[in-house]
Structure 1
Amino acid sequence: MSETRDPFVRFQDVQKSYDGETLVVKNLNLDIARGEFLTLLGPSGSGKTTCLMMLAGFESPTHGQITLDGQPIKNVPPHERGIGMVFQNYALFPHMSVAENVGYPLRVRGVARNEMERRVQRALDMVELGHLGRRRPAQLSGGQQQRVALARALVFEPQLVLLDEPLGALDKNLREQMQYELKHIHGSLGVTMVYVTHDQTEALTMSNRIAVFDDGVIQQLDEPATLYERPANAFVAQFIGENNRLMGHVEAVDGPLCTVRSDSGASIRAVNIRAGGIGERTLMSLRPERVSINPDPGSTPNILDAEVLEVIYVGDHIRSRMRVCGHDDFIVKVPNWSGHVHLRAGESLRVGWHAEDCRALDA
């Protein structure tokens, strides 16, 4: 990413309403650095795709301003913004060959034939389809069609590429392969990419930063590891990755930590993120892989009784559903090499975790 202080893309106090009453995007302020891979992540209806469409020029802000490389783009039509677009449905022309599809953006820009052929071949080689230029889209697999769409978005060397759930139609294995290929292409080209998805794993895998949307508002904007390890509120904690949720009331506050009396009566130590003061209700968030089984007494402040309800062999880890603090959906993930592969449904044991791994958030 560029070290310059000036953002390549800036949303400033942007709002969007389709009916004049309900705001789909609310007072959005967002800076995107040149060369960044930023993912807009959130559930359906959260406002992420609307932001992408406003940046592309297919929608206009109801209020506020969007700038691209320091210039307002409100009155610039989509085809003059110099932005590459990749959609979930590929949007390839079925009557054209692969090379013709990729070369289309160059043809409408009046690029000379020899130069166009050179750039088309380079773009196809970039996505490892240089040998399929003469085929029609119908003769390609879904993954190959998606690569063609990506090559078409990159062939005219845009500074910004927008991707709207481009891998949604692919099967799991191909989707994962394309994630790494996109990440590699981004790294090699240095182009700015803004990616929309509701798939949290996809976002964590590919992004420099992730903006988590809900109800038209960015709930948290951070690097993937920060989002996962330190969610800012209950929504982010529940949306990013899997986590155990325990409810209770704050009993004591001790600097950055607090003691929470769970609804089952257990006393739990946690990091006070947004729990509030004594007597306030809070939701505690705890990742399943941070829970240890039968910890040594005194090794951690949180050690509770548990009953194993279900054990699932996943391959690289064992996933166990337990009853903890009155909850029947408490999940523990144990690496396969750790010696806990012999967990059995119905057995009683103890689970524990460090206070630093448990985050007391808004209720």
Structure 2
Amino acid sequence: MGENKDIIVKFDGVQKSYDGEILVVKDLNLDIERGEFLTMLGPSGSGKTTCLMMLAGFEPATHGEIYLNEQPINNVPPHKRGIGMVFQNYALFPHMTVAENLAFPLEVRKLDKATIEQKVTRALEMVRLDQFGGRRPAQLSGGQQQRVAVARALVFEPDLVLMDEPLGALDKNLREEMQYEIKHIHDQLGVSVVYVTHDQSEALTMSNRVAVFDDGVIQQLAAPDVLYEEPVNAFVAYFIGENNRLYGTVKDEDSKMCRVELDNAGGDIKALAVNIDGTGSRTTLSLRPERVKILSESDSADNVMQGKVEELIYLGDHVRTRMTVAGNDQFIVKIPNAHGHPILHVGDTVKLGWAAEDCRALDAPAGGGDPA
């Protein structure tokens, strides 16, 4: 982060343990910029939700300090932090109308009646529910209830809104619609958002930056396109998007590239030397399915291998093709469903190729072998 950035949230050496022995968050140092949409992404137990709960004030930090607008807030109770919250279960008051749910945080702050009505009306319009103010939550669909929860978190104009798996209870189509809805509201208002999810496509769709958590540590913090195109380790490459993994030993390297001898007598591969321990070390090669091409006999590429077609799944715009390559029978190639692309059949053997720059040599899996 640059020195001239406007930082709204700062985690300074924050740790969290529930039992005094095992750290579920390990020495977290993170600056969140004012107005950005930052997503904490990771599998269950990675520490992302604990970080959100510490920021909200529902969990105390074991060590370190959290700052909001440059003020330490470890000892500030949740209701005095001025933070908006959106939960997966919506947490709406069932006995109140939609308008009364939205008015509640304003009444707590002792605003006058005219101001409350004005802010509630504006919030309902923002989430396209201005005709639903008189209904109770039980009379709304799941997506409408989620919109109300978002509006309630924003109605008192907080500097910061926290969202904890807010779309987890919605079906796929509604979930995708709400992703864009929340993103557009963020763009419109410029409010700072910290969002927690285990859904990597959700994180890529909505965020300015994504912090990928594993084992209580941020593995990589970057913009969505950088996470996808330039993962710094095997965990991030595997967790973000679909990814082919091949395993081998580094034979030689220069400043940027390396040559890897694949396991199972799979031959040599040229790759970007991203995160390796030098010649003779074990490595995981990461390669996105869309970067692999099916070659004609006369075509060439930096890396050329044979693949045997094991399964074909038609997905509309492309055919997801599972192959056996260098002993890996889970090697995926995405073939565009367009004129000029070959029609394959199960059992076919084809020539595959890809650029060295599209293949990243990363850290070895635990134990030096295939983690799967």
When normalised by structure 2's length, the TM-score is 0.95
State the partner residue of 2:305: 304
Structure 1 unpaired stretches of 5+: none
Q: Does residue 333 of structure 1 match 2:334?
A: yes
Return the offset for 1:296: 6.1
Structure 2 counterpart of 1:311, one-letter code? L
Return the offset for 1:258: 0.3
Return the offset for 1:3: 9.4
- 1:194-343 matched pairs, under 5 angstroms: 194-265=194-265, 266-295=267-296, 297=298, 299-340=300-341, 342-343=343-344
SS at match of 1:130: coil
Asked whether the equivalents of residues 247 and 282 of structure 1 are also in contact (C-alpha less than 8 Å), the reply is yes
Structure-2 change in CA distance of 1:3 and 1:129 (3 Å): farther
State the partner residue of 1:353: 354
Q: Calculate percent identity across the aligned residue pairs.
A: 67
Q: Which deviates further from its counterpart, 272-281 or 58-67?
A: 272-281
Return the offset for 1:75: 1.4
2 CA distance for matches of 1:134 and 1:337? 51
SS at match of 1:131: coil
Structure-2 change in CA distance of 1:347 and 1:160 (3 Å): same
Return the offset for 1:255: 2.1
Structure 2 counterpart of 1:86, one-letter code? V
State the partner residue of 1:89: 89
Structure-2 change in CA distance of 1:296 and 1:14 (3 Å): farther
Structure 2 unpaired stretches of 5+: 365-372
Structure 2 counterpart of 1:98, one-letter code? V
Asked whether the equivalents of residues 321 and 328 of structure 1 are also in contact (C-alpha less than 8 Å), the reply is yes
1 CA distance for matches of 2:212 and 2:288? 18
Structure 2 counterpart of 1:64, one-letter code? G
Q: Which deviates further from its counterpart, 5-14 or 298-307?
A: 298-307
Return the offset for 1:316: 1.0
Structure 2 counterpart of 1:321, one-letter code? R
* CA deviation map 1:7-33 (0-9, x unaligned): 110000000001111101000000000
Asked whether the equivalents of residues 297 and 351 of structure 2 are also in contact (C-alpha less than 8 Å), the reply is no
1 CA distance for matches of 2:257 and 2:297? 22
Asked whether the equivalents of residues 295 and 352 of structure 1 are also in contact (C-alpha less than 8 Å), the reply is no
SS at match of 2:182: helix
Structure-2 change in CA distance of 1:125 and 1:11 (3 Å): same
2 CA distance for matches of 1:261 and 1:63? 45
Structure-2 change in CA distance of 1:257 and 1:104 (3 Å): same
SS at match of 2:119: helix
* CA deviation map 1:251-299 (0-9, x unaligned): 1112200000000221100000112211111000000000000256563
Return the offset for 1:36: 0.5
Asked whether the equivalents of residues 88 and 164 of structure 2 are also in contact (C-alpha less than 8 Å), the reply is yes
Return the offset for 1:341: 5.9
* CA deviation map 1:183-224 (0-9, x unaligned): 100001000000000000000000000000000000000000
SS at match of 1:8: strand
SS at match of 2:131: helix
- 1:7-22 matched pairs, under 5 angstroms: 7-22=7-22
Q: Which deviates further from its counterpart, 149-158 or 332-341?
A: 332-341
Structure-2 change in CA distance of 1:140 and 1:341 (3 Å): farther
2 CA distance for matches of 1:301 and 1:5? 42
1 CA distance for matches of 2:160 and 2:263? 50
Q: Which deviates further from its counterpart, 208-217 or 263-272?
A: 263-272
2 CA distance for matches of 1:5 and 1:139? 44
Greater than 4 Å deviation, 4+ residue runs: 295-298
SS at match of 2:338: helix
Q: Does residue 178 of structure 1 match 2:174?
A: no
Q: Which deviates further from its counterpart, 28-37 or 258-267?
A: 258-267
* Structure 1 vs Structure 2 CA RMSD: 1.4
Asked whether the equivalents of residues 83 and 160 of structure 2 are also in contact (C-alpha less than 8 Å), the reply is yes
- Give the number of equivalent residue pairs: 363
Asked whether the equivalents of residues 318 and 341 of structure 1 are also in contact (C-alpha less than 8 Å), the reply is no
- 1:153-168 matched pairs, under 5 angstroms: 153-168=153-168
When normalised by structure 1's length, the TM-score is 0.98
State the partner residue of 1:42: 42
2 CA distance for matches of 1:101 and 1:164? 19
Return the offset for 1:334: 1.5
Asked whether the equivalents of residues 253 and 279 of structure 2 are also in contact (C-alpha less than 8 Å), the reply is yes
1 CA distance for matches of 2:347 and 2:324? 10
Structure-2 change in CA distance of 1:272 and 1:48 (3 Å): same
